[in-house]
Amino acid sequence: MRRIVRGMPVGIWVLLGILALAATMLTLAQSNAETRPSAGSAAPSGLRIFATLARSAGFDLDSTRDPLPRFDQRDVPVVVLIETASVSDWIAEFEQSEEEKAFEEHVLTFVREGGTAIVGRLSGNFRKASIDARKRTRAVAADGKTSAEVSVPTVLPDLWVSDKSLISRVWQTEGGAPYLDVASVGKGRLIVLHDWLPATNRFITEADHAPILLGALQKLTPPDSRLRFLEAAWGNVQEPGILDRLGPGYAAGWGQIIVCLIVVAYSLGRGFGLAPLVRPRQRGQRDLVEATAGFYRRANATDVALKAALADARHKILSELKLARGTEWAVWSERVPEPLRHIYREVELASHERIRPQDAIRVAMDLDREVTAFIGKERIASRRKVRSDGTRRSRF
């Protein structure tokens, strides 16, 4: 017979478990491959650690999905552009969409009026970029006195600055590749981080990435700045839902509620997609016995129970002594041991009044133990005979 677990075959539960495990593994793998540089994301490509370090350094932080947000004078827009094409396939003339052009002009207008912005690119193939970033090189500051160990920067197209004479080098590799630049745009400045990969959660704690990035923030941004992460730069222009507005804690709580509902449904034995099994309760002799016992228990009728135990013990003793059922106490009491005679009298006295249930259980068990010791377990077992229909019968 096929084993059934909560109304569903075991094989189906095993397949569902394998499916859930595979979906979890695929989700985790997809999160590692997809580039989502959000300031609140704890994924490998997120910037949550970078944002936390900046907040610890005294910066205020904000994040917006508005394609054309309004800026205050103390705002420092943080722009991360996702590079979707490889360097070998890159066309020199990069064609932007109208939305991208409007976004770029909006940020540059703020910079020209005296603002400060941070802009850089990040590879869209995060898995491949992560493999390449395992290589290390030395970076040298503009003064030539400070050096640090960094990941080899990915060569990406130039960013928003056409006049090279306006660019000042802050950090570069020993091979001369740009790492961190500052460009003068109008009255403001544009901080160009050529590769955002060292700022992601996976790499910011490695090498000397964190000291370089935080040092550049403190040195190149105005005092009392607020970093505003513009998520629309990498395509996240979707309006946040209610869980996003409430925060990650509420999202985790919602997930726990869903898991709890699944566990409750499983514990109740409700098979998914199966009709509930109707199991009518069969009334029989056991229900009658339990009902009678429950009635006496609620009534605290210990005297009735002790009288029944006393009658059973007397019947067994008289049967062992081969005496008539109505033999008086004075006749057979002298033929039994003193402990049995003593406990029999104690139970007899207790059966005329209602004592506590625990006391009644104690004296009844003592009486049964003494009767068994007097007659013997073997003799009691030998007196049970089997009827022809297979049911047992006791001579007592």
Between strands 75-83 and 116-123, the pairing is parallel
Same domain, 234 and 341: no
Per-residue model confidence (pLDDT) at position 199: 87
Q: Is residue 298 part of a domain?
A: yes
pTM: predicted TM-score of the whole model, two decimal places = 0.52
Same domain, 227 and 81: yes
Same domain, 183 and 108: yes
Q: Is residue 325 part of a domain?
A: yes
Same domain, 225 and 266: no
Note the pLDDT tens digit of each residue in 137-174.
888 888 777 888 888 776 555 667 766 767 788 888 88
Per DSSP, the three-state class of 387 is coil
Higher pLDDT, 140 or 297: 140
CATH code for the domain in which residue 116 is found: 3.40.50
Kindly tell me the number of DSSP H helices and DSSP E strands found in the chain: 13, 13
Q: Which of 214, 193, 228 is closest to 39 using CA atoms?
A: 228
Same domain, 297 and 189: no
Q: Is residue 7 part of a domain?
A: no
Same domain, 208 and 308: no
Containing structural domain, residue 264: 243-274
DSSP state of 38: -
Report the alpha-carbon distance of residue 373 to residue 361 in Å, rounded: 18
Q: Is residue 221 part of a domain?
A: yes
Average pLDDT across the chain, whole number: 77
**Range scoring the smallest mean pLDDT among 4-18, 136-150, 288-302:** 4-18
**Res 31 pLDDT > 60:** no
The average pLDDT across 281-287 equals: 70
DSSP state of 93: S
**Res 88 pLDDT > 60:** no
What's the domain count of the chain?
3
Report the alpha-carbon distance of residue 191 to residue 216 in Å, rounded: 9
Higher pLDDT, 271 or 146: 146
Per-residue model confidence (pLDDT) at position 87: 41
46: number of Cβ within 10 Å: 20
Same domain, 142 and 230: yes
Q: Is residue 16 part of a domain?
A: no
Same domain, 337 and 290: yes
Q: Is residue 308 part of a domain?
A: yes
Bridge partners (DSSP) listed for residue 4: 9
Same domain, 252 and 368: no
Report the alpha-carbon distance of residue 352 to residue 329 in Å, rounded: 17
The average pLDDT across 100-120 equals: 88
Same domain, 166 and 298: no
Note the pLDDT tens digit of each residue in 352-372.
888 888 888 888 889 888 988
Two tokens, residue 342: 């003593």
Q: To the nearest whole percent, how much of the chain has pLDDT over 90?
A: 1
- For Cα atoms 234, 239, 242, give the angle at the middle one, nearest 5 degrees: 130
Same domain, 84 and 67: yes
Report the alpha-carbon distance of residue 137 to residue 152 in Å, rounded: 6
Q: Is residue 169 part of a domain?
A: yes
Q: Is residue 3 part of a domain?
A: no
DSSP state of 393: E
**Res 347 pLDDT > 80:** yes
Per-residue model confidence (pLDDT) at position 24: 65
Same domain, 206 and 353: no
